[in-house]
Amino acid sequence: MQKEKIWVYLENGTFFEAKSFGAPGTHVGEIVFNTSMTGYQEIVTDPSYAGQFVTFTMPEIGNVGCNGEDMESKAAWCKGIIVRQYQPEPSNFRSEEPLHELLARFGALGICDVDTRFLTKTIREEGAMMMIASTEESDPEKLAKMLEAAPHISEVNYIEQVSTKEPYRHTHGHYDAVHFRYNEAPEPKAKIVALDFGVKRNILNELTEAGMAVEVLPNTTDAEWLIERYEAGEIDGVFLSNGPGDPLILKDEQAKIRRLIEAKVPMFGICLGHQLLSISHGYDTYKLKFGHHGGNHPVKNVATGAVEITAQNHNYNVPDSITEVAEVTHLNLFDDTIEGALQSGADHVGAAPPRSLPRSAREPLRLYRISSYDRALNRRPINSQGASALSLYSVIRPLNRK
């Protein structure tokens, strides 16, 4: 594989030359860093990274290649990845293609031979920032002008790009590491729809494994139609998925969720879905300095004192002011930000780190349920060990419709 030159210009004026191993071209996006030691293919194909360049702190990337079973979605959505050393010749019995071929196929840049420790320190000190990378332009002044003219990530609705265009039913459960295949979905005990804001496949796997029949719908799905289906007993609740970008600009989604809240449709969400629930309740999210991206985030259950190690990927967080209506149940021990909350009484929001999720899906799980739903839950508490895949069903159990 021939590595071509690529030039990178950061918003703070940093400029450097590196080597390219992905698609050619020029891309603008937000640079973040991820501390995971494994799972680079899952990260690259996570729709939540749309609009971003991912800097890997793991020094060598590419050594196990890529395969169809480890895709978290149908494409690579990140603008590109930045690594210290790229291994173009993978050695793994499951490998079907090297990482650079996957990146090239979906138009994502690969940037290597970079001091990723320096970049990580820069992001930690100055925060996530915009950048431009190009195999076509080497003049830093021209790159700076191109970056300045490009829209900021907070101005782009990436959900329109990553959401499914057609409804479909998800029929896979957990991955069987003995027979190297995904399990078929077990007999469902509840029916839910998942609003796709950029959902990952392993999150859907967990929902089906927990006993839910999952129908995935586009983000443009009409709220009134969902309400009709719920009232007719066709579905038992709505799942709000993860996804990319700034939740504050998603006005249509916010309006839709507020309408579902008014109609008392049971909902629960993860990542972007949780953030949209917070905004829809009147508590705007805020942007973290450099976000939570990695596989080693300790989260404390405030009630029990238990600490779980979670994988996370989000740049935005619910505000501390949510304590006006909710009790904080989980905290991130890195920075004391809210990872979970529970609203007693009429409506409540909850979150917990689901430790049973696979490495690429172990994000803090955000859950939402409403007062009339409380009786259907038999007041069963969220598992003190965290809302695992098994306890998900207790959260979305069908209403007693008698």
CATH number of the domain residue 91 falls in: 3.50.30.20
Per the domain annotation, does 133 fall within a domain?
yes
CB contact set of 293 (below 8 Å; sequence gap of 6+) = 32, 33, 34, 35, 54, 312, 313, 314
R_g over Cα of the chain = 21
Per the domain annotation, does 360 fall within a domain?
yes
Contact by Cβ (8 Å): 384, 301 = yes
Out of 155, 181, 216, a domain closes at 155
Q: How confident is the model at residue 343 (pLDDT cuts 50, 70, 90)?
A: low
Out of 139, 155, 171, a domain closes at 155
Residues in the chain: 402
CATH number (domain holding residue 366): 3.40.50.880
Q: Which residue has the higher pLDDT, 340 or 211?
A: 211
Type of residue at 269: G
89 and 193 in a single domain? The answer is: no
Per the domain annotation, does 325 fall within a domain?
yes
Per the domain annotation, does 353 fall within a domain?
yes
Helix (H/G/I), strand (E/B), else coil: 97: strand
The answer on pLDDT for 265 being more than 80 is yes
191 and 243 in a single domain? The answer is: yes
Per the domain annotation, does 356 fall within a domain?
yes
Model-wide pTM > 0.95:
no
Per the domain annotation, does 118 fall within a domain?
yes
The answer on pLDDT for 384 being more than 90 is no
Per the domain annotation, does 269 fall within a domain?
yes
**Which of 324, 209, 340 has its CA nearest to residue 274?**
340
Query: Domain total for the chain?
Result: 2
Per the domain annotation, does 365 fall within a domain?
yes
63 and 175 in a single domain? The answer is: no
Domain that holds residue 270: 159-395
135 and 248 in a single domain? The answer is: no
Q: Beta 338-342 vs 327-332: how paired, if at all? A: antiparallel
Q: How confident is the model at residue 153 (pLDDT cuts 50, 70, 90)?
A: very high
Q: How confident is the model at residue 344 (pLDDT cuts 50, 70, 90)?
A: low
Query: Percent of the chain, pLDDT > 90?
Result: 75
Out of 108, 134, 155, a domain closes at 155
Q: What is the mean pLDDT of residues 159-181?
A: 94
